[in-house]
Amino acid sequence: MTQFILFGGKGGVGKTTCAAATALKLSEEGDKILIASTDPAHSLSDSFEKKIGSREKEIFPNLWAVEINPKEEMQKLKEKLADAPEMPNMPGLPGMNPAEMLGGLSDMGSMPGMDEMAAFDLFLKYMDSEEYDYVIFDTAPTGHTLKFLSLPELMDSWVGKMIKFKLQVSNALNMFKQLLPFTEPKEDKSLENLEKMKARIEKGKLILTNPSKTNFVIVTIPQEMAISESVRAVKQLEEFGIPVKKIIVNQIQPEHKSCAFCTARRKLHKEKLNEIHKKFKKKQIVEVELSKDEIKGKKKLEEFARVLK
């Protein structure tokens, strides 16, 4: 049974580092791991110091990685559709090339939340594969992407019923068209597709909200703004029924008695840590100090993973 670990948190706190270190450690313990990222900056490649592409690749024994760039994927889809035939003219609707229709979406690659959306899409893809023991996500879907989880309920609501009704009408229209000469018989699968999507999202929701299948880890730093954001993130996730068991507090100032600046910072960080412990009483809090080097490459990631434990 595949288990999922998702790492979420504010920019730059150490999500990629925590995800990479966890993936490496689990793979060394003998589990088959996939680590997936949709960060266009290719930070997984940098972290592992390995070239990773949009196809799953074994970068270390038992450790597979994939890095998807949402913008590139959108571009590929557009190119594929550029050769697609024109849609037939319909009364009141101009003939439109599917690529043109996508044209309006061309900026989507830079839209905020696009990488989380792509991560959610990847999650739906991998939830059915029993190929790996663990699938680890560097970019985790956040609040606004998780709104998709409400789709099944929405489809059952009156809005959804209206959409279904409209699709049924258009299916019926298509049936009529098939009876007429000179028109291409065309099967409309949209209703069926919508139902399939609903079923997939329902399944995704079951997996995401099952603590024995999914583990959502929040990474944060001992700083006021990051803490407030983590509180919001945990609240939002739990509203969707996704439990957060572990919080990693990264980049804590280490002790250097001879350095006044470091001592002051450490004192401040200790206060923030107290606050974090109070705010997240029931959660496992893992504390990680700031190290003098960047955490990059196998050796450093292995060291980092030992602290994470």
Ligand X SMILES: Nc1ncnc2c1ncn2[C@@H]1O[C@H](COP(=O)(O)OP(=O)(O)OP(=O)(O)O)[C@@H](O)[C@H]1O
Which residues contact Mg ion (rule: CB under 5 A)? 15-16, 43
3-state helix, strand, coil in the chain (%, to 5): 50, 15, 35
Binding mask 7-46 for ligand X (x = CB under 6 A): --x-xxxxxxx---------------------x---x---
Partner from Mg ion, ligand X, none binding residue 17, C-beta < 5-8 Å depending on class: ligand X
Q: Coil, strand or helix: which one is 237?
A: helix
Partner from ligand X, Mg ion, none binding residue 237, C-beta < 5-8 Å depending on class: none
β 63-67/244-252 pair status: unpaired
Partner from Mg ion, ligand X, none binding residue 58, C-beta < 5-8 Å depending on class: none
Asked whether the CA dihedral 21, 307, 284, 115 is positive or negative, the reply is negative
Residues 208-267 that bind ligand X (CB under 6 A): 250-251
69 near ligand X, judged by CB under 6 A: no
Closest to ligand X by CB, 205 or 300:
300
Please, what is the minimum distance in Å from the beta carbon of residue 130 to ligand X? 28
Say which DSSP state 67 is in.
Answer: E
Closest to Mg ion by CB, 28 or 46:
46
**Count helices and strands in the chain by DSSP H and E runs:** 12, 8
Q: Coil, strand or helix: which one is 185?
A: coil
Q: How many CA atoms lie within 13 A of 135 on its CB side?
A: 26
Please, what is the minimum distance in Å from the beta carbon of residue 292 to ligand X? 7
β 33-37/63-67 pair status: parallel
Contact criterion met (CB below 8 Å) for 130 and 2: yes
Residues 276-305 that bind ligand X (CB under 6 A): 288, 290-291, 294-296
Closest to ligand X by CB, 50 or 177:
50
Closest to Mg ion by CB, 12 or 95:
12
Please, what is the minimum distance in Å from the beta carbon of residue 262 to ligand X? 14
- From its phi and psi, is residue 102 left (phi > 0), alpha (psi between -120 and 50) or beta? alpha
Of 243, 144, 138, 152, which Cα lies nearest the Cα of 203? 152
Closest to ligand X by CB, 9 or 152:
9
Q: How far apart, in whole angstroms, are the C-alpha atoms of residue 248 and residue 237?
A: 16
Please, what is the minimum distance in Å from the beta carbon of residue 193 to ligand X? 33
Partner from ligand X, Mg ion, none binding residue 40, C-beta < 5-8 Å depending on class: none
Partner from ligand X, Mg ion, none binding residue 103, C-beta < 5-8 Å depending on class: none
Closest to ligand X by CB, 156 or 294:
294
Partner from Mg ion, ligand X, none binding residue 277, C-beta < 5-8 Å depending on class: none
Of 118, 43, 25, which Cα lies nearest the Cα of 304? 25
State the residues that interact with ligand X by CB under 6 A: 9, 11-17, 39, 43, 250-251, 288, 290-291, 294-296
